[in-house]
Amino acid sequence: MDFVHMMSSIIVSICFFIFYCFSFSLQSTDYMLKSNETDQLALLQFKAKVTHDPLEVLSSWNYSRHFCQWKGVTCSPRHQRVTALPTVNQFVGQIPETLSELKMMRYISFGGNKLSGEIPFSIYNLSSLNCFSFLYNQLQGSLPSDLGFTLPNLEVLNVADNQFVGPIPASISNTSNLMKLAIGGNGFSGKVPSLENLHKLQRVRLSLNHLGNGEKDDLEFVNSLVNASGLELLEISSNNFGGMLPEAVGNLSTQLKILEVDNNQLFGNIPSGLRNLVNLELLYLEDNQFTGRIPGSIGDLQKLQTFRLEGNKFWGEIPSSIGNLTLLITLNFAENMLEGSIPSSLGKCQNLILLDLSNNNLTGTIPTEVIGLSSLSIYLDLSQNQLTGPLPSNFGILKNLGAIDISENKLSGQIPSSIGSCIRLEQLVMKGNFLQENIPSSLSSLRGIENLDLSRNNLSGRIPKYLENFPFLQNLNLSFNHFEGEVPIKGVFSNSSAISLDGNDNLCGGISELHLSTCSIKESKQSRSRSLKLIIPIVTGILLVTGMSCLIITSWGSKSKRELATPPSASLASVLRVSYENLFKATDGFSLENLIAAGSFGSVYKGVLNHDDHETLVAVKVLNLQHRGASKSFMAECQALRSIRHRNLVKIITSCASVDFQGNDFEALVYEFMVNGSLEEWLHPNREAPRNLNLLQRLNIAVDVASALDYLHHYCETPIVHCDLKPSNVLLDSELIAHVGDFGLAKFLPEATNNLSSNQSSSVGVKGTVGYAAPEYGMGSEVSTSGDVYSFGILLLETFTGKRPTNEMFTGNLTLHNFVKGALPERLAEIVDPALLVEREEGETSEANAHKQFTRSFSVKECLVSVLEIGVTCSSELPRERMSMEEVAAQLLSFRNKLVKNVRGQPATYVTA
């Protein structure tokens, strides 16, 4: 079973339907009425040739219905002749010659099956074909040399990801209506013929073949594309192309969004005309032999999101105009010969999630502006340069960053204690510098760390004992420093192959395998732990008295770029005082048109608040004070939201307790408005507003929600339990960043436990929502963080299966949890949300890219299995079997990072909704 195959076949068929519906109205030719029995016969012969049909699509191909009603078959309404064959299945078998009997066929779209053998030549005689698509099969052979003459009406030729060999037929130039030429991921070879008559070409995908001969004129065909005025995509990566990138690249259509020429043998400078391609979003030049300077005019490509030129021979300084590329998400200049200092203008690229300048000859200090890029989340690699001076002290802003590598430079000074705020770090590599003094104690908060390499520096002091408690630490290298004193023995220190301590002066103790001397003076551990026990209750007591505020100063103080991009609500909150009248006006008198949600506790309205010269889009939640508990819920929510700040929690702008025009009490909360509504609306879209989230978007949302819960559970002095997590309470902003909302049922944990101990008999009264509330709550259990973990587990399963826990299919013993658990890992495709398989833009992330994805270590399939397994564990019946949100957040983030690392071109889809 092959999930990616199925995915692509669904993609293809959906694409086909859209295409078909669109073009059908144009179809006016009167077809000769011929016996349509030949069509039926041809279809049945096809059925007979298919040896394996796991989804049993072909069982509907029987005499009980007219063949035009068989699955995957489309007929012309008038003549009842087959015009199209898309498939959604995993057919195994060969293509029968008789398929060519379907003379009226205009679309063959057999993507994503396991069809093998050669395509019978008679099929190439179906001259009416517009769409010839066999992507993702196991087909062999070569394309006939006269293809362009026998199929002159082709608009789509897609044979990507098969095993075709031989040349691209020169006759292709006769298919003057061709819009899409996709042959990536095969064994095509030879020179690419001229494409000069193909003025309608929009997409050309030739990557991953053996095209070109490593010779100067290999890219001549690029010149022939200058009149394809709608060209959006040109992909020629991973071939044998030699020569220079022709100047005519600059004469290609300004519509061009994607240009991938990486992994060839290209040399010479970047053509100056490249600056004309002002709509370019993605530019891959890496792993060639390009030389020269990076032209300053690159700053003209202001739509660029992904820019990779690693593994070339570029020299000279990085132009400061790079700062003009403010939409950049990924920038990789590694492994060149770049020199000079890192331009501080990079600080303007506030969407960067990955920055790699490693392996160059860069000098000077690391600009504070670069460390200030709070968007960085995948990795920051400045290793193997000649960077000097102390590290900037503003590392604390990199809260979402997974990896930092600044090794093999000449950096000096202390490790800034602010690194302790980079709580998502998994890799921290600083080896081979001149860093000195102690490891700052703040590093104790980096509990997600897997690899910590501080070797070959000038660090001193004791080895921090807290490293024993880092659950994911697999490699700790402190060798060649001046550490002294006792080596801990637990955690990572219990495994001698996970730690390197060579070349330190005065270490003692540790496990026996290390062969260190025993330490002379031992600290009394007992007395220390006793005093801790005394302190904790006192501290907690004080916090309770002072109103249980959540004292996460670091996170409070930081403003990520994305937060800044939204209305300046933090400052707004302090100045904005709103009256009933203001809110009445903002919501057009709480009009029905502005009503966006209604529940027992109240109604939510969309509104526009005017203050000074600004207008701010807000959501106003008006409490229904007639409802018992509403006021209490108002208090809970106010308290929770006022005292906490996290990028993945909805931000409250202000609250209003007032009287309405009739003199009744009025209470309302005003939040930031989330333009993209709730996760619920995305997972279960209605027909009027169809929409879909792709895999990465869903995973990002899962990471966001997990971070929010992790924060509530573990980073607040007083843990907060949300108690009502579900997709409708997860709101999405304009960038699809998730914000957990609705704290109406939230509980501060000590309060909850106190209540319980003072009155054991009363149930806590938290019910949450059916399907999402932990089973133990139904049995009167106390509120706990593991209850939220359960709800999160369900939410995760729903996000990736598209099935609500309350779906009618779940009866008796079959629950969403069991449904997923029983199918993993083999039957993944049966449980995963079909909509997830429909990538936007007809699966442009698949085809050649997905091929790359296959061959990499962490595939889409593995990712889905891993994520769903977390969902299953979290939604375990027994609370003790669930994970902690800390662990969940760390794991999801690492899946996300692995996925992004492995999906090339992914950043382009990362931003598109």
Ligand X SMILES: *[C@@H]1O[C@H](CO)[C@@H](O)[C@H](O)[C@H]1NC(C)=O
Stretch that binds ligand X, among 13-21, 206-214, 469-477, 517-525 (CB under 6 A): 469-477
Of 128, 189, 251, 753, the one binding ligand X (CB under 6 A) is: 251
> Considering the rule CB under 6 A, would residue 434 count as an interface residue with ligand X?
yes
From the list 248, 189, 186, the residue with the least C-alpha distance to 214 is 189
Stretch that binds ligand X, among 277-285, 413-421, 444-452, 472-480 (CB under 6 A): 472-480
**Cβ nearer to ligand X, comparing 121 with 661:** 121
Stretch that binds ligand X, among 221-229, 234-242, 360-368, 802-810 (CB under 6 A): 221-229
List CB contacts of 907: < 8 A, sequence separation 6 or more.
282, 305, 306, 329, 330, 353, 354, 900
**Cβ nearer to ligand X, comparing 62 with 912:** 62
CB of 558: closest distance to ligand X in angstroms? 31
Sign of CA pseudo-dihedral 875, 876, 880, 884: negative
CA–CA distance, 395 with 369 (Å, rounded to integer): 10
Binding mask 85-124 for ligand X (x = CB under 6 A): ------------------------------------xx--
CB of 433: closest distance to ligand X in angstroms? 10
Are the beta carbons of 114 and 139 closer than 8 angstroms?
A: no
**Cβ nearer to ligand X, comparing 66 with 614:** 66
CA–CA distance, 586 with 27 (Å, rounded to integer): 51
How far is the CA of 355 from the CAs of 287, 331, 361, 453, in angstroms?
Answer: 17, 5, 16, 20
Stretch that binds ligand X, among 495-503, 662-670, 766-774, 816-824 (CB under 6 A): 495-503
> Considering the rule CB under 6 A, would residue 341 count as an interface residue with ligand X?
no
Are the beta carbons of 131 and 107 closer than 8 angstroms?
A: yes
> Considering the rule CB under 6 A, would residue 297 count as an interface residue with ligand X?
no
The conformation of residue 297, written as its DSSP 8-state character, comes to G
Residue with the two structure tokens 């679309």: 107
CB of 194: closest distance to ligand X in angstroms? 8
How far is the CA of 290 from the CAs of 283, 335, 571, in angstroms?
Answer: 14, 12, 49
**Burial category of 363 from C-beta neighbours within 10 Å (exposed 0-12, middle 13-18, buried 19 and up):** middle
Using CB under 6 A as the binding rule, the residues of this chain from 445 to 464 that contact ligand X are 455-456, 458, 460
Stretch that binds ligand X, among 325-333, 492-500, 615-623, 831-839 (CB under 6 A): 492-500
Task: Considering the candidates 704, 710, 724, 742, report the single residue annotated as catalytic.
Answer: 724
Q: Is 259 helix (H, G, I), strand (E, B) or coil?
A: strand
Region for residue 271 given its phi and psi (left: phi exceeds 0; alpha: psi -120 to 50; beta: otherwise): beta
DSSP 192-234: PPP-TT-TT--EEE--SSEES-SSGGGGHHHHTTTT-TT--EE
Stretch that binds ligand X, among 223-231, 347-355, 443-451, 764-772 (CB under 6 A): 223-231
Using CB under 6 A as the binding rule, the residues of this chain from 150 to 209 that contact ligand X are 196
CA–CA distance, 743 with 650 (Å, rounded to integer): 10
CB of 432: closest distance to ligand X in angstroms? 6
CB of 411: closest distance to ligand X in angstroms? 11
Are the beta carbons of 586 and 673 closer than 8 angstroms?
A: no
Of 41, 226, 638, 913, the one binding ligand X (CB under 6 A) is: 226
**Cβ nearer to ligand X, comparing 244 with 551:** 244
Q: Compute how many residues bind ligand X; rule: CB under 6 A.
A: 32
CB of 503: closest distance to ligand X in angstroms? 8
**Cβ nearer to ligand X, comparing 274 with 868:** 274
> Considering the rule CB under 6 A, would residue 254 count as an interface residue with ligand X?
no
Of 229, 474, 517, 546, the one binding ligand X (CB under 6 A) is: 474
List CB contacts of 710: < 8 A, sequence separation 6 or more.
885, 886, 888, 889
**Cβ nearer to ligand X, comparing 274 with 705:** 274
CA–CA distance, 132 with 183 (Å, rounded to integer): 12
CB of 892: closest distance to ligand X in angstroms? 22
Stretch that binds ligand X, among 72-80, 295-303, 473-481, 528-536 (CB under 6 A): 473-481
CB of 297: closest distance to ligand X in angstroms? 13
Residue type, 478: L
CA–CA distance, 323 with 344 (Å, rounded to integer): 8
**Cβ nearer to ligand X, comparing 437 with 680:** 437
CA–CA distance, 718 with 699 (Å, rounded to integer): 28
3 state SS for 714-782 = HHCCCCEECCCCCHHHEEECCCCCEEECCCCCCEEHHHHHHHHHHCCCCCCCCCCCCCCCCHHHHCCCC
From the list 679, 692, 646, 883, the residue with the least C-alpha distance to 795 is 679
Binding mask 36-75 for ligand X (x = CB under 6 A): -----------------------xx-x-xx----------
Are the beta carbons of 485 and 507 closer than 8 angstroms?
A: yes
For the sheet containing 138-140, what is the strand order?
50-52, 92-94, 114-118, 138-140
Q: Is 742 a catalytic residue?
A: no
CA–CA distance, 197 with 225 (Å, rounded to integer): 9
**Cβ nearer to ligand X, comparing 505 with 612:** 505
Q: What is the largest CA-CA distance in the chain?
A: 101
**Cβ nearer to ligand X, comparing 513 with 581:** 513
DSSP 343-403: PGGGGG-TT-SEEE--SSEEESPPPHHHHT-TT--SEEE--SS--EEEPPS-GGG-TT--E
CB of 377: closest distance to ligand X in angstroms? 25
CB of 332: closest distance to ligand X in angstroms? 24
**Cβ nearer to ligand X, comparing 498 with 595:** 498
**Cβ nearer to ligand X, comparing 2 with 196:** 196
Stretch that binds ligand X, among 167-175, 431-439, 566-574, 787-795 (CB under 6 A): 431-439
Of 107, 480, 580, 673, the one binding ligand X (CB under 6 A) is: 480
Binding mask 603-642 for ligand X (x = CB under 6 A): ----------------------------------------
How far is the CA of 682 from the CAs of 91, 606, 685, 835, in angstroms?
Answer: 31, 19, 5, 11
Residues of the shown chain interacting with ligand X in the complex, contacts defined by CB under 6 A: 59-60, 62, 64-65, 121-122, 125, 196, 223-224, 226-227, 248, 251, 431, 434, 436-437, 455-456, 458, 460, 474-475, 477, 479-480, 495, 497-498, 500
Q: Which residues are catalytic?
A: 724
